[in-house]
Every structure is written in structure tokens, then in C-alpha cells.
Amino acid sequence: MSTRRFQHGLTTVLLHSVIIAISAFMILPFVWMVSTSLKLPQDTFGYPPVLFSEDSTLIHYTYLIQERNLLRITGNTLFVSTAASLLSLFFCSLGGYGFAKFHFPGREALFAFLLATMVIPAAVTMVPVFVIMRQLSWIDTFLPLIVPGAANAFGIFFMRQYISSINEELMDAARIDGAGEFGIYWRIIVPIITPGLTSLGLIFFMSSWNNYLGPLIYLKSPENFTLPLAIFQFGGAVGLTNYNAQMAMSVISIIPLLIIFLIFQRRFVEGITAGAVKG
């Protein structure tokens, strides 16, 4: 028995050691990013390299706030990500509710067609969507980053799988009491699927927050830039890239996502797990 316990303890120690080593390897780039944002330019490529310089400074963050309009850029990103996420949650949950609880001719074929659109590469629709946005005079506005993705196949599929297990007796009871279909959706379905909405909302928010290609295509004025596009603006030829400011803005772009995930991580995992089980 003692030998078995020793082997089990040794296995546990080795397993945790491997996990810690892998975690440290994955965290190292983020630590280096933070340290670079605090270094002076001459210390960035110093040899031998140091993780944290003795002359650490916040001048790059001050530069971003005073010279690069960081607060406005962060506000733009927050507005676009929040608006896109809320709009997508509303329409995707409505679509999922319709596919899960309403029976109409061609429902299965339409749902299969919806799922088939998920395999279409984004590059295929890039030019047609840009032409539509230009015809609508939406170029250099936030609308192309919010409206086109308001109802997407993945979100509708996720919500449909989540809503399909809700007991229809609740809906029938509400209909008997005189509730309309939208009232049933808003007062009964939405409270029940809140964990799923939280999980899907986090996915949408992080995707929109990190979106680089969309702002690159549609946004022209610097005052409308989002964080990923602003980070790209620091790039240049070899020797001209402001790595310290670029890393500082990268740190700022990660902090909100990290805070949001730490707050909602339990709901995120519960929503994903429940959706998978219910599907």
C-alpha cells in the first residue's frame, strides 16, 4: 500500500511540474510584453537581455495618453465590441429560439443551409460586403463593424442547441396567460438561457475586441481607430518600429479582456458545458 501511495504521489508531483512548466512557457511572452512596455528604448535590445530593467518607466503609457489619443481609441474599441456583442446576442438568441421551438415548412433545410454558410471563408465575402458598405455610405464609421455580424450561423446554432431543451410546457402556460411570442422569449427564455448568453457574449466580445481586419478595411480616420489598428500603426521598417509603445498599447488591450474573463470565467465554463450537454 505504501508503495502504491508513493507512486501515486510521485505521479502527481510530476504531472503538476509539467503543468507548471507549460504554464510558465505560455505566460513568458506576456511577461516579456509587460517588461518591454516599461523599458527605455535603449534597453529593449540590450545584451545580455534582462526581464525587468532598473530604469523601468511609464513614459510610454503617458505618451499614448497624451500624444496618441489612447482614451478615445479605447473608447472606440469598447463601444464597437459592446454594441456588436449585444446586437449579436439579441438576434442570435431570437434565431435560435425560432429554430428550436417553432415548426414551419423547410425548417431543417433552412437550418442545414445556415450551418453550411459556416464553411464559407471570410475572404470570399470581403469584397461584396465592402461594396455594400460603400453603397450605404458606411465607410469610416463603426456600422460595418457592428451590423453585418449581428446574426451569424455559429451564434444561432449555439443558441438553438441551448434553447431546444427548455420545457415547452412553460411556453404553453405563458400562452394560456395571454403572453405573446416575443413576451415569452423576453420573460421566460432569456432568463433561462442567461449562462449561454454570457458564454456566447464573451466569445463575441473578445472576437470584436481583437478584430483587426475589419477596422483596417473600413476605418480611415485616426480618431475612429480601434486598439488592434492603433497597435499596427506603430509598426514600420526595421529600426523604425516603436516597440515600447507598441507593447504598452498591447498591454492595455489585454487588460480589459483579462478582467472580464476573470469575472465571468465560471459562467463562461458553465454556459459552454451546459450548451454541449444540451446539444
Q: Kindly list the domain boundaries of the chain, sorted by start residue.
A: 1-57, 59-278
Q: pLDDT tens across 131-160, in order? A: 999 999 999 999 999 999 888 999 999 999
- Residue 147: per-residue pLDDT: 94
Q: Count of CB atoms within 10 A of residue 157's CB? A: 20
Q: Is the pLDDT of residue 58 over 80?
A: yes
pLDDT above 70: percentage of residues in the chain? 92
- Residue 269: per-residue pLDDT: 67
- Residue 273: per-residue pLDDT: 61
CA 209, 211, 212, 218 dihedral sign is negative
Are the CB atoms for 247 and 33 separated by under 8 Å? yes
CA 228, 233, 234, 240 dihedral sign is positive
Are the CB atoms for 220 and 173 separated by under 8 Å? no
- Residue 279: per-residue pLDDT: 45
- Residue 96: per-residue pLDDT: 94
pTM: 0.85
Four-way CATH pick for 59-278: 1.10.3720.10, 1.10.10.10, 3.20.20.70, 3.40.50.300: 1.10.3720.10
Q: Is the pLDDT of residue 70 over 60?
A: yes
Are the CB atoms for 232 and 213 separated by under 8 Å? no
83: cell is 454594441
For the chain, give the mean pLDDT. Answer: 87
**Once rounded to an integer, what is the mean pLDDT over residues 163-191?**
88
123-136 burial code (b ≥16 CB/10 A, e <16): eeeeeebeeebeee
**Once rounded to an integer, what is the mean pLDDT over residues 39-43?**
83
Q: Is the pLDDT of residue 189 over 80?
A: yes
Instruction: Compute the distance between CA of residue 106 and CA of residue 236 in angstroms, rounded to an integer.
Output: 53
Q: pLDDT tens across 12-25, in order? A: 889 989 999 998 88
Are the CB atoms for 203 and 272 separated by under 8 Å? no
- Residue 235: per-residue pLDDT: 65
Query: Apex CA 103: angle with CA 100 and CA 104, to 5°?
Result: 125
Q: pLDDT tens across 204-240, in order? A: 999 999 999 999 999 999 899 999 999 888 765 445 6
- Residue 236: per-residue pLDDT: 56
